[in-house]
A and B are shown apart, each in its own frame.
Chain A
Amino acid sequence: MSNNRDDNILVRIRGLRFARGERMIFDGIDLDIERDKVTAIMGPSGTGKTTLLKLIGGQLRPLSGSIEFDGEAIHSMSSSRLYAVRRRMGMLFQSGALLTDISVFENVAYPLREHTRLSESLIQKLVLMKLEAVGLRGARDLMPSELSGGMARRVALARAIALDPDMIMYDEPFTGQDPISKGVLVRLIRRLNDAAHLSSIIVSHDVQETLEISDMIHIISHGQVVGSGTPEQVMASDSEWVRQFIHGEDDGPVPFHFPAADLQTDLIEGSASC
């Protein structure tokens, strides 16, 4: 199955180009995701971070370039092979994406029931262990509508690790979370990564939390990787793009103003047309 098992790179992206309509999202990016590491993909809103996860998961097709998972090109796989490879990936969606008509327990049991022929008692033990890992064993009988945002993400995390994947992709895991939930998620992601020897990809624009747990950071803007390195290297970067993003400066390579005509001209023409 694995062509490059000795290779330390789990996901290899080369020359990736992807567009939505006329707008180019990625214009020839190269990126590597290392095994057993927490890799963060950061960048301003709308730069295509979530799109990148969907490309890695094979939910979207690139215009050109290649994405390899463990040595296999994702976009030249047959549909059945792609589904088989996805069993080795977990994904935590921003909304949690829990199935709303079944309980917390059933949500976590879902991938086990779909892909294994384990006995009911074994499924029960596995689900309780996964829920224990995220601290929600006691919430097994709740429905998704009864969970807070942070709890929903933790249940989704338990579901994502149900099949013991090689890699987990986290889409904006900290967005909209209170400080306690953020702290819990930060520690959980790191602990799960190290304990289960996972490779994690975190897509986020929460600088503080992401710097705290990442081994490697790639910053994307305007369809290019504008900076890469360890958290220390990124913090010390002299790139204008990286500095603006990390320090939250309101103007720079990413302009504060959306492109528009001169203000004075706009005001005069605007009043004339009224």
Chain B
Amino acid sequence: MLNSLAALGRRGLNMIQSLGRASLLLLNILRGQACLLSRPSLVVRQLYSVGVLSFLIIVISGLFVGMVLGLQGYYILSRFNAEETLGVMVAASLVRELGPVVTALLFAGRAGSALTAEIGLMKATEQLSGLEMMAVNPVKRVLAPRFLAGFLSMPMLAALFSAVGVFGGSLVGVGLLGVDDGAFWAQMQANIDWNKDVMNGVIKSLVFGAVVTWIALFEGYDAIPTSEGVSRATTRTVVYSAFAVLELDFVLTALMFGET
């Protein structure tokens, strides 16, 4: 009994220590952002590896999520003879929730895990120590550009996911199930609000981008420098990111849409 209490306490203390280390790292990463103004090429390279290389998985996933939304939405709405509002349902679901959330989950699996593995392996192969001994700060040189790239990529990928999803919904709704083309797009245009729907979605994806990239970079930087340590850190990135995104989504949704 006492032993399990001690183990619980130890685990709690370790978690608080990790959170402290992660917060300090984030502070240093944010401080390092100023240096990137003079080295934009570092960010561009990371935008390619974090953002552009995630393009395919986002497009394919967005298309199928939109198609499923079109299919399910049609069956439910047609019961109430409201199939013409299918466009609104698909677009609102995507820009408010599914776009930012599913993109963040996919981003954590594709780019987040890659970031953790890359930083963890750089640590295990002493590349980060090597940079320090060359008088180059690895937080500014390696982590800061990756953080900015993750932060900027997420809203773009989420927008892409939503756009392709809406196209997938119209493909099924209009093309396959015979919903009126004009009604599909006109209802969407009339009922989707720029600030309430679109901008809130963008804010969510910015928050998710920052959090997922922060978790990925911290887990890599804090990983035990062995193959097992890096493998565990990569798993933790995906698991913690998924929890963080889903919990934050609830909090943000409550704050953004709670009063309406």
Contact = CB atoms under 8 A, between A and B. Distances in A.
Interface of A: 54, 57, 59, 83-84, 86-87, 89-91, 93-95, 97-100, 110-111, 114-115, 156, 159, 163
B136 A114 contact: yes
A159 B131 CA distance: 11
A115 B127 CA distance: 18
B135 A97 contact: no
Q: Which of B130, B132, B133, B141 has the most CB of A within 10 A?
A: B133
Interface of B: 125-127, 129-130, 132-137, 141
B132 A97 contact: no
A59 B132 contact: yes
Contacts of A94: 126
Nearest to A82: B135
Contact of A97 (B127, B136, B137, B141): B127
A83 B127 CA distance: 16
B129 A83 contact: no
A21 to B, nearest CB: 14
B125 A86 contact: no
Contact of B133 (A84, A86, A114): A86
A93 B126 contact: yes
Given A97-B125, A100-B125, A91 B135 contact: no
A115 B133 contact: no
A95 B134 contact: no
Contacts, number: 48
A99 B127 contact: yes
A161 to B, nearest CB: 12
Contacts of B134: 86, 110-111, 114, 159, 163
Contact of A86 (B126, B132, B141): B132
B133 A83 contact: no
19 contacts: A54-B129, A57-B132, A57-B133, A59-B132, A86-B132, A86-B135, A90-B133, A91-B133, A93-B126, A93-B130, A95-B125, A97-B127, A98-B127, A99-B127, A110-B136, A111-B135, A115-B135, A156-B130, A159-B134
A46 B127 CA distance: 22
Nearest to A111: B134
B14 to A, nearest CB: 14
Nearest to B126: A97
Nearest to B142: A99
Nearest to A54: B129
A50 B132 CA distance: 15
Nearest to A159: B134
B10 to A, nearest CB: 14
A115 B130 CA distance: 15
Given A59-B132, A84-B135, A91-B133, 14 more contacts: A57-B133, A83-B135, A86-B133, A87-B135, A89-B133, A91-B130, A95-B126, A99-B130, A100-B125, A110-B134, A114-B135, A114-B141, A156-B130, A159-B134
A159 B141 CA distance: 18
A99 B119 CA distance: 12
Contacts of A57: 132-133
B127 to A, nearest CB: 5
Nearest to B132: A59
Contacts of A59: 129, 132-133
Contacts of A84: 135
A256 to B, nearest CB: 27
A99 B127 CA distance: 6
For the complex of A and B, the 7 pairs showing the least CB-CB separation, nearest first, are: A97-B130, A97-B126, A86-B135, A91-B133, A83-B135, A93-B126, A87-B135
Contacts of A86: 132-135
A100 B133 contact: no
Contacts of A111: 134-136
A6 to B, nearest CB: 26
A111 B136 CA distance: 8
A222 B135 CA distance: 31
Contacts of A87: 135
A218 B91 CA distance: 72
